[in-house]
Amino acid sequence: MEEKKGFRACAKYLPSSPSKVRPVADLVRRRPYVEAMAILDAMPQKGATLIKKVVQSAAANAMSQNKKLDEEQLIVSQLFVDDGPRMKRVWPRSHGRRDILLKRQCHITVVLDEKVGK
């Protein structure tokens, strides 16, 4: 049994915490491409702009591989927000001590598929 992979795009090492990007991803997952782009345009969060760029890249991959596809036929089938590496920085505290500040990064992967049926 052969499984269709879809059209994918991924962005790695994005400077945003995955816990802040995941709620935005939950709103867009399993939605039509046009509706997903409208939702992402209206959101003020930084994660919305990051996800929007990756979704647009996946759509561009779909259009370049299959010339007959229309934006109306695409659906966001999978959207992953994974942890990236954490950069450790020193944060000065009182009495000559220090804390470790973790600057988190994330990887975003988007898979677009064609709509099945009407």
Query: Can you read off the two tokens belonging to residue 39?
Result: 């939702």
Contact 79, 51 (CB under 8 A): yes
Residue 118 has pLDDT above 70, yes or no: no
Architecture (CATH level 2) of domain 7-114 = Alpha-Beta Complex (3.90)
| Residue ranges covered by each domain of the chain | 7-114
**CB proximity list for 51: less than 8 A, separation 6 or greater:** 21, 24, 25, 28, 40, 79, 108, 110
pLDDT digits (tens, 9 = 90+) for 4-41: 578 899 999 999 999 999 999 999 999 999 999 999 99
pTM across the whole model:
0.86
Output the six-digit token pair for 104. Answer: 């988190």
3-state secondary structure of 6: coil
The single-letter code of the amino acid at 4 is K
